[in-house]
Amino acid sequence: MQSLDPNVQEKINQWLNGSYDQNTKNEIQELLENQEFDQLTDAFYKDLEFGTGGLRGIMGVGSNRVNKYTFGTATQGFSNFLKKTYPNELIKVAIAHDCRNNSDTLAKVVADVFSANGIHVYFFEGLRPTPELSFAVRELGCQGGVVLTASHNPKEYNGFKAYGSDGGQLVAPYDKAVMEEVQKITSVNEIDFEGNENLVEIIGEKVDNKYLDELVKLSVSRKAIASQKDLSIVFSPIHGTGRVLVPPALQKYGFENVTLVKEQMVVDGNFPTVVYPNPEEQEALSMALDTAKKIDADLVMATDPDADRVGIAVKNNSGEWILLNGNQTGTLIINYMLTAWEKAGKLDGNQYIVKTIVTSYLIDRIADSYGVDCHNTLTGFKYIGELMTKFEGKKEFIAGGEESYGYLIGEHVRDKDAVVSAVIIAEMAAYYKDMDSSLYEALINMYVDYGIFQERLVSVTKKGKTGAEEIQHMMKDFRENPPKSLGGSPVSVIKDYKSQTERNIETGDTNTIDLPSSNVLQFITEDGAIISARPSGTEPKIKFYCSVNDTIATAHEYDFVAQKLNEKIDLIMQELAG
């Protein structure tokens, strides 16, 4: 007969006998009576870990679940950090949440714990996008912020993302310092849940309007929008926070023909119309695409539940709808912004672009052609935000992004922003349509000008208890026995971000990589292919980011060369993953 591990049973007893509410105890008791041992084991075998970005997990009772006690612990730890970091100051935080089930009630718990600790709380009146939380932290002079979201995870999940005073996600050394404060809390009795209503200030429309005003300032093609104000746009928030700000942002930009996917404008944490609320997936955009086909639209856009990432679809030259990947959309945005800034005479050598090391190096090539610095950071938008804060007041940020569908235009926030991305993408479409072109044609013409880049992310999962060890062994083997060639081209440079060294294979010369240590390897071949190997920090999975490129003289060559490059990626993946 199945039974519970003694350590799990001990943790369950602590909850049954501790200072937890009766509903929580009743739910645990019911699981025990029904002998739901697997569920109980997963819920109690460990504590939900507060990582460098916060918490994320499945909702439910237990120490390894998202609930008022795990979020309460995180908030108390964050409060302790803020009070130590800003002694004798009036500490202020902003709190926002997305559409997920329980987000509103959990946000109230977070507000209660902060206010119980004497911290002034700016509390959004309803669901709001993650980028607006970043904006509010900066606009209201807060020392911190929290948004409750699990991004594009399935409906069972929720999360707690912590932000610093610059409006960016916590980075070193502050991330580790907050983690340490959270880990110090060993009892629920150390959490002060008795909120002080006098310290909670409700915010909403006023901050919305200030945020939207900042977005309007970023427009660079007002004449094109005025000429193409009837551009047919289909938008879906996929039941999430994009519904709050994307439609008014498009309206403020001057777009008058926006069709909203009615069924997905409904706020619903169960995401009933999609399998996953992930705009990277064609399935999540299927209703928007159906609508676009019916009305012969020009552009389809959809944002994830917390509206920090956006997926788009455009028509190719045959009139077929295709989804652009994250690299393609990000490169189009940056190419467009650089073109517009140059035409406006705004490029004076003090501007810069930021991207991550696994995002298309076509962006580097384009930025270089305009004489604009392109900085590469480790994977994660928090590193882009960190660099922006470092350069604030010294250099001018134009735009940045990462291959996972997250982009930022302008300096109003320190996180990826699907709201500003959506209006700039719409403006791009208007700009090219005003020249009797399209976003698809702009993409191909960009390839003609700078070279065609084809990228693909391939994740290899190693199942079972030995999965993590297998991946460690793979990385060790790559370091000790690196591939001599990939895709038929010799490997010429190896970048090891863990040892922070770059080595030229032919000369043996080494250089230091000026980035924090991270378990990532990059192999660069003589013909310009870049292959990055990066283990996941949370799953028995290793990710391979493959980027290959070639040149095309005319747009007519695109399909043929793109197919060749895809076949080359197939070959590289066979060589790497077996």
Burial category of 361 from C-beta neighbours within 10 Å (exposed 0-12, middle 13-18, buried 19 and up): buried
* Closest residue by Cα to residue 389 from 365, 415, 356, 419: 415
Distance, in Å, from the CA atom of 356 to the CA atom of 530, rounded to the nearest integer, reads 13
Provide CB contacts within 8 A for 367, sequence distance 6+: 334, 338, 353, 373, 374
What is the DSSP pairing of strand 157-163 with strand 200-203?
Answer: unpaired
Q: Which of 63, 79, 134, 151 is catalytic?
A: 151
SS3 string, 255-306, reads CCCEEECHHHCCCCCCCCCCCCCCCCCHHHHHHHHHHHHHHCCCEEEEECCC
Cα distances from 36 to residues 32, 314, 562, in angstroms, run: 6, 48, 51
With H, G, I as helix, E, B as strand and everything else as coil, classify residue 443.
helix
* Closest residue by Cα to residue 306 from 109, 113, 160: 160
Whether 151 is catalytic is yes
The token pair at 556 is 């007519």
CA terminus-to-terminus distance, the chain? 41
CB 148 within 8 A of CB 240: no
Query: CA torsion angle for 442, 319, 284, 131 (degrees, to 10)?
Result: 30
Distance, in Å, from the CA atom of 263 to the CA atom of 245, rounded to the nearest integer, reads 17
DSSP for 534-557 reads: EE-SSSSEEEEEEEEEE--SSGGG
* Closest residue by Cα to residue 528 from 512, 548, 544, 510: 548
**Angle ∠(333,334,340) on CA atoms, nearest 5:** 90
Helix, strand, coil percentages (3-state) for the chain, rounded to 5, are 40, 20, 35
Distance, in Å, from the CA atom of 53 to the CA atom of 194, rounded to the nearest integer, reads 26
Amino acid at 435: M
What is the DSSP pairing of strand 530-535 with strand 521-525?
Answer: antiparallel
Distance, in Å, from the CA atom of 576 to the CA atom of 474, rounded to the nearest integer, reads 10
> Within 117-219, where are the H helices?
130-139, 174-183, 205-216
CB 259 within 8 A of CB 291: yes
**Angle ∠(252,254,260) on CA atoms, nearest 5:** 80
Catalytic sites, residue numbers: 151
